[in-house]
Amino acid sequence: MNSLDINVEFRDVNFRVGRRDLVTQVNLTINNGEALVLLGRSGSGKTTTLKLINRLLMPTTGQVFVGDRSTHEWDVIELRRNIGYVIQETGLFPHFTVRENIGLVPSLLKWSRSQIEARVYEMMELVGLDPAVFAQRYPQQLSGGQRQRVGVARALAADPPILLMDEPFGALDPINRQELQQQFRHLQKQLGKTVVFVTHDIQEAFFLANRIGLMYEGNLVVLGTKEEFRRSPHPEAQAFMACLPTNL
Amino acid sequence: MFNFLNQYASEILRLSGEHLILVIIAMIVAIAIGIPLGILITRHPRFASLVLGLANALQTIPSLAIFGFLISVPFLGGIGKTPAIVALTLYALLPIIRNTYIGIENIDPAVREAGRGMGMTDWQLLTQVELPLAAGVILAGVRIATVISVGIATIAAAIGGGGLGVFIFRGISTVNNQLILAGAVPAALMALAADFGLGLLEKKITQQKIKRSQFNRRLTIVGMVAISIITAIVTISLQQTPAKIIIGSKNFTEQLILGELLAQQIENHTNLQVDRRFNLGGTFVCHEAVKTGQISAYVEYTGTALTAVLKQAPMTDALTVYQQVKQNYAENFQLEIMPSLGFNNTFAITIRGEEARRLNLKTISEAAPYSRQWQAGFGYEFLERADGYAGLAKTYGLKFDKPPQQMEIGLMYQALANKKVDIIAGNSTDGLIPILDLFILEDDKKYFPPYEAVPVVNQAVLRKYPEVRGAIAQLAGLVSNQDMQKMNYQVDSQSLPVETVVRDWLRAKLPKQA
């Protein structure tokens, strides 16, 4: 995939399970290099929307376009290997070392050993983990913050143009969370990836987003920059604004 | 004890080897079927409860019943090693399927989601993530299944599958505790060794310290070596030239002796190789086996053939019975009834000698009035057969207050002598009767038909190997009732090996041997 023309587009997407509509009539375009934050309460449909992008879920009606093709047309394995995926529980393989975890997608893509080795070291430096100390360790031997850094490194290892992140810092203590948010924003400026970031934390959203998409009961109710969000008359947006400390 | 070990050492080793092979082959098949099935139901959860339920149900069927049921199944059934392995495989399936399923299902769902989300194919997820993480649990299932198999494999002997069960059943038939132990102890040791060995392997797998790639390589090497060894064992065991003549027998001492008699006679007078499949379940198992050619011959009793196999009304004239049986067997089953071996082993309604003397009882009619307070002990066959308990009770008006106890023939005499039961249906040629001071009540109403001992031979075998007829014919009329009682006594009470007793008797009766 050419990084220059990749973007994500939702066209009239609905997702239904049984009789429950989890996502209703979502229309959304995500631009190259932008960090879009999907904000909303628990159960608002933001994680579901995220999973429609890497086809962990398929739309009931409507289509999700990634690059030039809809997810219906994509070979699902090729699609996923081109999208980095970071989840809240990290999901690191407990029987792989840090090195092996980070090198997962490169090895699936059959990179040479030396290429993988070099890339792993590069990623570890990028997320602030000393390779000499951490490369050989197993996930159980890491702290929560360290584990999530490995999660991010793993997602970036094959240099995918798109990054999906599902409340990745939600399980961390506030100090670690803030540290990682700052590091990630710096990283994003450096790498210019297209990022879709799910969170329920308004502060995190304001810190990281280029644009914010507010989801409420399966609908995308507000979509815009921070300024536009701040001025939005929608009651849900105002409810979230009320949770922000006033000096922001 | 050392004398015993000396005599039986080589047989213990041989049967242990047979036992081990049965278990190994069954485990390989069970693993080859069970693990993939377990993996399959993690992919299709709708079938999980069906498959697990089925495997569960299989396990609840008593092992003896499955072995018995397999006898009449074509292809995979019958008697011998194949049905034994089939039964063992069925039993090993549940722990393996269930542990594979549970092992994979219990993996942190975040790990599986992350794997899938990053673009691993289902196969890659399975081989690189799920199986390595579930390996410990799966191996625990294999371990459980193996230990169960070692135990259940002892039953294989009941359908001619060999293994250590041969000793156990023989020990039960001939009331010989040393033989029972000779079978039970090595089996127990084998189970312990398997449990221990696989436990070690389990521990190694669940240890984190081993680097994954190193571990994979090591495992592959171990795996290949193990597979080569096992393939070698299997091919060697299957190489054994198939025996030409197979002699079967029922599961009590006299039958073991008569079977051995046929076997040795054929070995001595022909160049044919003889395989022994003794201790088969009973009349019906033997009949099915000789009819289908799974055994070449065994010794049956004319009365039994008439009423239990041909299901005709009992008759009392020996010659008529013989001719009727001979004709019917030839016409309906393509089986040849050869001339009688010379004695009549009728059902002996037996009580303790002291009771007979105290109450001055000589016949069944005289004993009938006392039957109410007595506890009866009868074998399975006697209770089932038309010429057995039902007809006897009606003819003599026997009424037992307590229902008869079902027991193994081999245990009945001891039970009678020890006053656990008061009246049994034994056999008139049994060696224990005079020894234990037991008394046979006379069948004054002539209820039981004659039970002459006759060799039953598969006609196809006779056509293929006519020399067998000549060898067996030499035994006609040679074995008297006293001969039979004496040989029974030697095996039962003097604990002499069956082969020795028969060999000595043959040497005395037919001095010029090939």
Which chain A residue has the Cα nearest residue B210? A95
Q: Which two tokens stand for residue A201?
A: 């934390």
Q: How far is A78 from chain B (nearest CA, A)?
A: 7
Q: Which residues contact B360 (CB under 8 A, 6 or more apart)?
A: B366
Percent of chain B with pLDDT over 90: 38
- The reported pLDDT for the residue numbered A10 is 93
Q: Which residues contact A51 (CB under 8 A, 6 or more apart)?
A: A57
- The reported pLDDT for the residue numbered A87 is 94
Across the interface, which of B114, B211, B212 has its CB nearest the CB of A85? B114
Q: Is the pLDDT of residue B302 over 50?
A: yes
Residue type, B473: A
* Residues B315 and B306: beta-carbon distance below 8 Å: yes
> pLDDT grade, residue B300 (50/70/90)?
very high
Best of B107, B118, B130, B131 to mutate (most A CBs within 10 Å, chain A): B118
CB distance A87–B121 less than 8 Å?
no
> What is the average pLDDT across B477-490?
89
DSSP state of B154: G
Mean per-residue pLDDT of chain B: 86
Which chain A residue has the Cα nearest residue B129? A93
ipTM of the complex: 0.90
Which chain B residue has the Cα nearest residue A162? B118
Q: How far apart are CA A49 and CA A45, in angstroms?
A: 6
pLDDT tens-digit series, residues B116-130: 999 999 999 999 999
Q: How far apart are CA B258 and CA B113, in angstroms?
A: 68
Q: How far is A110 from chain B (nearest CA, A)?
A: 12
> What is the average pLDDT across A134-156?
93
Which chain A residue has the Cα nearest residue B112? A91
CB distance B113–A90 less than 8 Å?
no
For chain A, the helix, strand and coil percentages under 3-state DSSP, each to the nearest 5: 40, 25, 35
Across the interface, which of B113, B119, B212 has its CB nearest the CB of A91? B113
Which chain A residue has the Cα nearest residue B124? A108
> What is the average pLDDT across B397-416?
85
- Walk across the sheet containing A69-70 and list its strands: A20-30, A8-17, A61-66, A69-70
Across the interface, which of A84, A87, A138 has its CB nearest the CB of B208? A138
* Residues B425 and B432: beta-carbon distance below 8 Å: no
> What is the average pLDDT across A234-239?
92
Across the interface, which of B113, B120, B124 has its CB nearest the CB of A87? B113
CB distance B110–A90 less than 8 Å?
yes
Percent of chain A with pLDDT over 90: 82
Is A1 an interface residue toward B (CB < 8 Å)?
no
C-alpha to C-alpha distances, A71 to A55, A74, A160, B85, nearest whole angstrom: 7, 5, 16, 50
Cβ contacts (< 8 Å) between A100 and chain B: which residues? 212
Q: Is the pLDDT of residue B268 over 70?
A: yes
Q: Is the pLDDT of residue B1 over 80?
A: no
> pLDDT grade, residue B383 (50/70/90)?
confident
- The reported pLDDT for the residue numbered B80 is 77
* Residues B63 and B84: beta-carbon distance below 8 Å: no
> What is the average pLDDT across B381-405?
85
Mean per-residue pLDDT of chain A: 91
CB distance B119–A138 less than 8 Å?
no
Phi–psi pair at B405, nearest 5 degrees: -85, 135
Cβ contacts (< 8 Å) between A140 and chain B: which residues? 208
The neighbour count for residue B207, using CB atoms within 10 Å, is: 10
> What is the average pLDDT across B226-231?
71
- The reported pLDDT for the residue numbered B514 is 46
pTM greater than the 0.95 cutoff: no
Cβ contacts (< 8 Å) between B103 and chain A: which residues? none
> pLDDT grade, residue B36 (50/70/90)?
very high
Is A52 an interface residue toward B (CB < 8 Å)?
no
Q: Which residues of B touch A (CB under 8 A)?
A: 108, 110-121, 124, 129, 132-133, 208, 211-212
> pLDDT grade, residue B308 (50/70/90)?
confident
Q: How far is B102 from chain A (nearest CA, A)?
A: 18
Best of A1, A76, A95 to mutate (most B CBs within 10 Å, chain B): A95
Which chain B residue has the Cα nearest residue A88? B110
Q: How far is B199 from chain A (nearest CA, A)?
A: 20
CA A3 and chain centroid, separation = 17
Phi–psi pair at B352, nearest 5 degrees: -70, 145
Q: Which two tokens stand for residue A113?
A: 């050993």
- The reported pLDDT for the residue numbered A38 is 95
Which chain B residue has the Cα nearest residue A100? B212
Best of A104, A136, A198 to mutate (most B CBs within 10 Å, chain B): A104
- The reported pLDDT for the residue numbered B209 is 45
Please, where are the H alpha helices in B246-334? 253-269, 283-291, 302-304, 318-328
Question: Which of B147-156, B169-178, B458-467 is least confident?
Answer: B169-178
> pLDDT grade, residue A3 (50/70/90)?
very low
Q: How far apart are CA B275 and CA B256, in angstroms?
A: 13
> What is the average pLDDT across B90-109?
93
Residue type, B446: K
CB distance B110–A140 less than 8 Å?
no
Q: Is the pLDDT of residue B270 over 60?
A: yes
Which chain A residue has the Cα nearest residue B208? A95
> What is the average pLDDT across B203-208?
73
- The reported pLDDT for the residue numbered B511 is 72
Across the interface, which of B114, B121, B133 has its CB nearest the CB of A91? B114
Q: Which two tokens stand for residue B314?
A: 């009992």
CB distance B118–A94 less than 8 Å?
no
* Residues A106 and A158: beta-carbon distance below 8 Å: yes
pLDDT tens-digit series, residues B333-376: 999 999 999 998 888 899 999 999 999 999 999 988 888 889 99
Is A155 an interface residue toward B (CB < 8 Å)?
yes
Best mean pLDDT range from B1-10, B75-84, B313-322, B465-474: B465-474
Cβ contacts (< 8 Å) between A54 and chain B: which residues? 117
Phi–psi pair at B150, nearest 5 degrees: -60, -40
Question: Which of A66-75, B32-41, B504-513 is least confident?
Answer: B504-513
pLDDT tens-digit series, residues B156-169: 888 778 889 988 88
Across the interface, which of A87, A100, A108 has its CB nearest the CB of B114? A87
Q: Is the pLDDT of residue A67 over 50?
A: yes
Q: How far is B101 from chain A (nearest CA, A)?
A: 19
pLDDT tens-digit series, residues A7-28: 899 999 999 998 888 999 999 9
Q: Is the pLDDT of residue B214 over 60?
A: no
Beta bridge partners of A85: A164
